[in-house]
Amino acid sequence: MRRMTIGLLLLLAGCATAPGPGTPRTVAEVDLVRYAGLWHEVARLPNRFQDGAGRECLATTATYSARPDGNIAVVNRCESATGPREALGRAYAVAGSGDARLRVSFFWPFYGDYWVIGLDPDYRWALVGSPGREFLWLLSRTPELAAADEAAALSVARREGFALEGLRRAVPVSGR
């Protein structure tokens, strides 16, 4: 039930904003085969499904993999005061987006926007946001990201109009 609630909140929030003028630009293209695998959250804008109602997700990861139906399987995990949490979802690439705009569902039929707005050429880090700029995640293939890489990613976020004053850096479980 908790997993469904988390997914539902994410998707309802994501569905509230449609693309329009002044929305962030995405990267030109994402190779979903290279993008697949494990990503570690380095930083995020606070959001109610990770930070709300007394929750605090630590050591958050996201794993993406190909599904037999051509969609993408999504597994989000984190540690919290009440133990590990996991949300299972699926995504599909928006046609004509170069696979940089995904629609993600953790609770069908609701979908949220997952836009890749920054991506290291070697797929070492990714910056993911939403068209309304209320959601932002900096992801890395490793639990820590070099300062220069973090600065490069966050400069993309600033350029695309994301307010970073409330940005939360990831806290490892051992750092509680």
Q: Give the CATH number for residue 51.
A: 2.40.128.20
Domain assignment present for 142: yes
Task: State the number of CA atoms in the 13 A half-sphere of 60 facing the CB.
Answer: 21
- Please say whether the beta carbons of 104 and 97 come within 8 A: no
Domain assignment present for 170: no
Domain assignment present for 133: yes
For residue 39, the model assigns a pLDDT of 98
Q: For residue 24, report the phi and psi dihedrals to the nearest 5 degrees.
A: -60, 150
DSSP conformation letters of 129-171 = E-TTSS-EEEEESSSS--HHHHHHHHHHHHHTT---TT-EE--
Neighbouring residues of 107: CB distance < 8 A, sequence distance ≥ 6: 4, 7, 8, 11
Which token pair is 25? 């630009």
Domain assignment present for 73: yes
- Side chain identity at residue 91, one-letter code: A
Domain assignment present for 103: yes
Neighbouring residues of 26: CB distance < 8 A, sequence distance ≥ 6: 97, 98, 100, 101, 115, 116, 117
For residue 7, the model assigns a pLDDT of 39
Domain containing 102 equals: 2-164
- Please say whether the beta carbons of 44 and 137 come within 8 A: yes
Averaged pLDDT in 10-residue chunks for the chain of 176 residues:
37 38 92 98 91 82 96 95 91 98 94 97 98 97 96 98 94 58
Domain assignment present for 54: yes
Domain assignment present for 169: no
For residue 114, the model assigns a pLDDT of 97
For residue 12, the model assigns a pLDDT of 31
For residue 140, the model assigns a pLDDT of 98
pTM for this prediction:
0.85
Which token pair is 150? 């973090």
Domain assignment present for 171: no
Q: Rounded to whole angstroms, how far apart are CA atoms 8 and 28? A: 29
For residue 47, the model assigns a pLDDT of 87
For residue 173, the model assigns a pLDDT of 57
- State the total domains in the chain: 1
